[in-house]
Structure 1
Amino acid sequence: MMMVVVANQAAPVEKHHQGNMDPQLLALASSGTSEKLQALLNGEDGQASSHGSGNDGGLTTRRASSYGDTEANESILAGITAEGDTALHVVAACGQGDDFSTRRWCWCLTRSKRHALTTYGDGDNFLQSACIIYEKAKHLLFVQNNKGDTPLHCAARAGKSKMVARLIELAEGEDRMKEFLRKENKHKETALNEAVRVGNKDIVDLLMMKDSELASFPEDGSASPMYLAIVLKRDEIVKTLYDKSSRGMLSFSGPNGQNALHAAVLRYRTRDLAKLLKWNETHLCLQNKDLATQRDENGSTPLHFAAAIKFLFRPSRICRQVLEANADALYQPDHAGFFPIHVAASVGAFRNVDMFIKKCPGSAGLRDAKGRTFLHVAVDKKSVSIISGACRNLSLSWIMNMVDNDGNTALHLAVKAESIHMFSRLLENPQVNLNLPNNRWETPLDTAQYKLMPKGAFFF
């Protein structure tokens, strides 16, 4: 018995693929040729694109315009690039904004050419092109590409302040301005983050003027505009974000649980540090969090980072500032059980250790997860300066014989390290006990004898 299979002769459904933007549309959008773009979208250009998706899409679009401009416009403007950019994304992103510098090439350019170069991408033709596309397909203003960027993200990233202003005007016309400004991409960043990143103060001013709460986004703990401004050393923008934010609506959050104070300490930004600590006192920061005691994903506070800044003849100025802001941070351990005094001891920052003890004498006895004091850590890291300073300070005699989780005193560890320098420094303090056994019932003397015993020796 023979079975005959008849193929379905119906025309295949045309799917929407990435990368199918009409080449002529892409070229006109990229160059800001507004008159030709208007003609193309009005169906006045009779020439079909020979490229496209391979199915005569360009020609079909032009012919469709004779049956209805709306359908034709939607058809050609529905195309996107491989990155998911619409024509409005392309217009918003192409060229450079008003922050572009020609200083390097000014010697070979005439004044008119310099002006043309610095305004290319933010000129009237590009602005007009954006309006033309918007009038034909208003929904494109809010479309996000593969990275989650809206046309506003693209314009801000390119430093195009006039384009940013024009796009905001269009969103205001739909009464959706705040929604537009607060739109986040896949990196959880708004257009304000992009403006901060490129250092365009004009765009930052404009965005903050339109929405005084914009610097409180993102809300999930990603890098805030203020954090970025601190990291990138944008001093003027730091002040702008503070001055133009609504009270209590300024986020200092950063990645990995850090905040802007962590960033200022890590980058030795003393001026930013002073500002942040002052603002912290006014409780302006979002959710009234104390920046000085906030811990990152590793449990480290800004003071943990500041404690590691080492100077030979004086305590770190940054460390002093953070400590004075909130001394309670001295009693906050990280997830490894390290307190700031342990961090300072581990890097040999003797002046910081001394400052901590003078400020809070009780911090000298703080133990980490292994039961070690800062003196144990100093011996472990062979920091003779810290050991000497601690042993000469008779007020610290009470920690000299403190033991870790293995029952070892600092003297046990010095003997195990076979360091005569550390051993002799510890003995300078009369309170050091030579006869304390550890958990293995070994005194420092026993440990020394084992160290002196020849390898392979045995007794009957």
Structure 2
Amino acid sequence: MDSRRHKAAVQGSSASLAALLWEEGGAKILNSTTPQGNTALHIAAGFGHVAFVEAAVGEHGDLLIAKNNEGDTPLHLAIRAGSMAVVDKLFTFSTLAGPCWPEEEPLIMMNNAHNTPLHEAVKHRRSAVALRLLDEQPLCGRTRNMDMLTPLHIAAREGLTDVVDKIVDIPWVPEKFIATNNVNGTALHQAVLGGHTRVVEILLVKTAPGLIDLTDAVGNTALHFAAQKNDKRMVRMLLDHRPDLAHRRNDRQQSALHVAAYYGSTAAAAELLRHSPDSAEMLDKDGRNVVHVAVSKVDTLRSLLKLMSLQADVINQGDSAGDTPLHLAAKMAHVQSTLTLLKDPRVNPCLLNRDGHTARSLVEERLTGGEMDAYVVYLWEKLNKYESRRCKNLQQLPPVAVATYQVQSLRRRGHRSGSGNDEYLGPTRSWPPSSPPSPSPPPSPCPATSGLAIHADRAAFSIFLVSNTIAMCSSIAVVFCFIWAWRVPAKFNLEHLIWVHILTVIACLAMIVSLMTSAYLTVLPTKRWPAYLVITIGACTPVVVILILGKEAFYIPFVQKPLLPVDVKSHNSNGDIQI
């Protein structure tokens, strides 16, 4: 296509088109294309030039079914660009021609991705265009593209209620006879994925009863999708329509509750348990229940432990390898999940897996194997503490292979994993002696190099963080106030001084609190007296200041006056203020 034709199409000049047609001898010039295969009609349709489109189609009607390199017709491009006036004009020409097309009609032609104009209309949320296409070609609503998506799938996902309503009203083969090898599932899956409750209601009421039973390519029902999206309302709607859906498993034998726990969908999990409390007992292909799966999501784990108030057997159930949720938390070195389980009185830290390990001895294997970072040491300390408290009368437990004094030595020396200093552990022995070494546990989800604080779960650490931040930020604010005051002293008044005074007092108090809590956290529990001395001195400091200054310690000027009685009269040659 030469530059004049391209320019005429881009500008939408029908006069230029008429001149070219007269000059070059008729409509044959309209068959020329760009390197992308676009004709002049493609270009004009994409830019929304109605007059040019009308003139071009009037000269050469076959341009309506011309395809570019992507297989798009001008109607595809017009819908994609949202040129409704051009779409209307192309509709008119397409319907007037009727059955006279040498190939398939423009209204149902597919591009290289097998998308029809109706696919493009619903994908770009052109409801009016989609409804008009359905009036002309009703069966296009169920045509699948390369991704196995029909316009009904896309309209359901986009929440186009009127389009979905119109498509399902058109007689069609029931969904239950369509193969479910689609990774996108059915239109119901897509509606759930988009969170469109009204569309879900339409599909459940107006389609075949078996639609809700259909799965995607890996066996997930629509309820699995709702659980993944943490859509409580959608879960309730589907379960009200089909209560036994909570017991349906996918190809990995996972129920919707397993999926909710895996994705941390706390609200969906609560709704599933409310409808079907026994679904907590369902096992996946690894023999794991919902508590096993929730170990990696501490918020979901806490919620499940509160909801399952009477199901201690589920909380302590072993999987195919005999691992309880506590064993899994210990294997993953997930401190927060481990502590959450240990604080629950129903959790039994004395149980053994099939290799004869408790949760404590699993972590101990990592210590004796050389993985001795503070993160793992802290986890071992907690497990050892709870195990010694709750399992006093049990003899079959594996013996402790790491002494407490060795752990304290590791803490003091700041040992890190991978350093190769195994002498810190001293002589150790594995348990049981006759059994072969168990496989290496999976790597920690939060390695030692991430700098996780071992006191993160203590209240003193939280106080330290907050007070230290307040002190730092208040000090920075005071410094910038004085920098600004030095630059323009004439504008620094008592109002600014009041704020500087208040922020300075806050910074000082926060620094005292930060000092006291840091001393308390870092001093060994066996030698607390230095920490108590620091806390006493810090607490007495404000009292000493008040005793020395008296009421002046609380004085803050409240009179709105300039800091210095200056009279800015003029400036000298250097730009300095003359008083």
Alignment partner of 1:366 is 2:299: no
User: Equivalent of 1:204, from 115, 119, 130?
Assistant: 130
> Closer, same or farther in 2 for the Cα pair 1:201/1:385, shift >3 Å?
closer
Matching of residue 384 in structure 1 with residue 302 in structure 2: yes
- Matches of 1:448 and 1:199 in 2, distance apart? 54
> Are residues 202 and 252 of structure 1, via their aligned partners in 2, closer, same or farther at CA, if it must alter by over 3 Å?
farther
- Displacement of 1:386 after TM fit? 0.9
Deviation (angstroms), 1:79: 1.4
**After superposition, what is the alpha-carbon deviation per residue over 1:263-287, rounded to whole angstroms, capped at 9, x for unaligned?**
333332222222222233x45xxxx
Give the deviation of 1:201 after TM superposition: 3.5
> How much is the aligned-residue C-alpha RMSD, in angstroms?
3.6
* Most deviating of 143-152 and 227-236: 227-236
Deviation at 1:292, TM superposition (A): 5.2
In structure 2, the CA distance between the partners of 1:326 and 1:224, relative to structure 1 (3 Å rule), is same
Distance 1:347 1:26, change over 3 A: closer
Aligned equivalent of 1:87: 40
Superimposed CA distance per residue, residues 418-443 of structure 1 (whole angstroms, 9 cap, x where no aligned partner): 63441231x33xxx666542121124
Q: Note the residue ranges of structure 1 that are not aligned, 5 or more in a row.
A: 1-20, 46-61, 96-120, 284-288
Question: Match for 2:67 among 122, 144, 151?
Answer: 144
Question: Would the alpha carbon gap of residues 229 and 439 (structure 1) be closer, same or farther in structure 2, given more than 3 Å must change?
Answer: same
Q: What do the CA deviations read for 1:179-230 (whole angstroms, capped 9, x no partner)?
A: 4322111222111122223433332232111111011112555332233333
Percent identical pairs in the alignment equals: 27
C-alpha distance in 1 between matches for 2:236 and 2:92:
47
Between 125-134 and 228-237, the greater mean CA deviation after superposition: 228-237
Alignment check: 8 A CA contact 2:261 2:293 kept = yes
Change beyond 3 A, Cα 1:155–1:344: closer
Deviation at 1:133, TM superposition (A): 2.1
The CA deviation string for residues 311-334 of structure 1, in whole angstroms up to 9 with x for no partner, is: 8xxxx1111112333445434444
Q: 2:95 aligns with which of 164, 169, 173?
A: 169
CA contact (8 A) 1:252 1:260 kept: no
Matching of residues 30-429 of structure 1 within 5 Å: 30-34=10-14, 36-41=16-21, 44-45=22-23, 62=24, 65=25, 73-74=27-28, 76-95=29-48, 121-123=49-51, 126-134=53-61, 138=62, 140-157=63-80, 158-159=83-84, 160-169=86-95, 171-172=97-98, 174=100, 179-218=105-144, 221-243=147-169, 245-248=170-173, 256-280=183-207, 282=208, 290-291=211-212, 293-296=214-217, 299-310=219-230, 316-334=232-250, 336-350=252-266, 352-382=268-298, 383-390=301-308, 392-393=309-310, 396-413=311-328, 419-425=338-344, 427-428=345-346
Deviation at 1:241, TM superposition (A): 3.7
Deviation at 1:448, TM superposition (A): 8.3
Aligned amino acid, residue 140 of structure 2: L
Do the aligned residues in 1 keep the contact of 2:254 with 2:284 (CA within 8 Å)?
yes
Change (3 A) 1:360 1:198: closer
Residue in structure 2 matched with residue 4 of structure 1 by the alignment: none
Q: 1:213 to 1:173 in 2, by over 3 A?
A: closer
Q: Distance in 1 between matches of 2:128 and 2:294?
A: 51
Using the size of structure 2 for normalisation, the TM-score is 0.55
Equivalent in the alignment of 1:53: none
CA distance in 1, matches of 2:264, 2:126: 41
Distance in 2 separating the partners of 1:442 and 1:247:
59
1:122-163 Cα distance to aligned partner (Å, 9 max, x none) = 34x5323312122xxx3x332210111012212333332322
- Superposed CA offset, 1:42-73 (max 9, x none): xx32xxxxxxxxxxxxxxxx3xx4xxx6xxx4
Residues 245-301 of structure 1 deviation map (CA, whole Å, 9 limit, x = unaligned): 344489999984233333333332222222222233x45xxxxx62554225x5543
1:388 maps to a residue whose letter is K
In structure 2, relative to structure 1, the CA distance for the partners of 1:400 and 1:231 (3 Å cut) is closer
Q: What are the Cα deviations for residues 161-183 of structure 1, in whole angstroms up to 9, with x where unaligned?
A: 32222331354151568643221
**2:356 & 2:238 partners in 1: Cα distance?**
43
Match for 1:295: what amino acid?
Answer: D
Structure 2 residue ranges without an equivalent (≥5): 366-379, 385-401, 408-424, 430-579
Shift of 1:415: 6.0
1:290 alignment partner, SS class: helix
Shift of 1:413: 4.0
1:442 to 352, 357, 380: 357
Task: Call closer, same or farther: CA 1:28–1:434 in 2, change over 3 Å.
Answer: closer
CA distance in 1, matches of 2:243, 2:106: 42
| Rg larger for | 2
* TM-score normalised per structure 1: 0.67
Q: Which runs of 4+ in 1 moved over 6 A?
A: 249-255
Larger RCO (alpha carbons 8 Å, 6+ apart) = 1
Partner AA of 1:440 in structure 2: D
The count of corresponding residues between Structure 1 and Structure 2 is 364
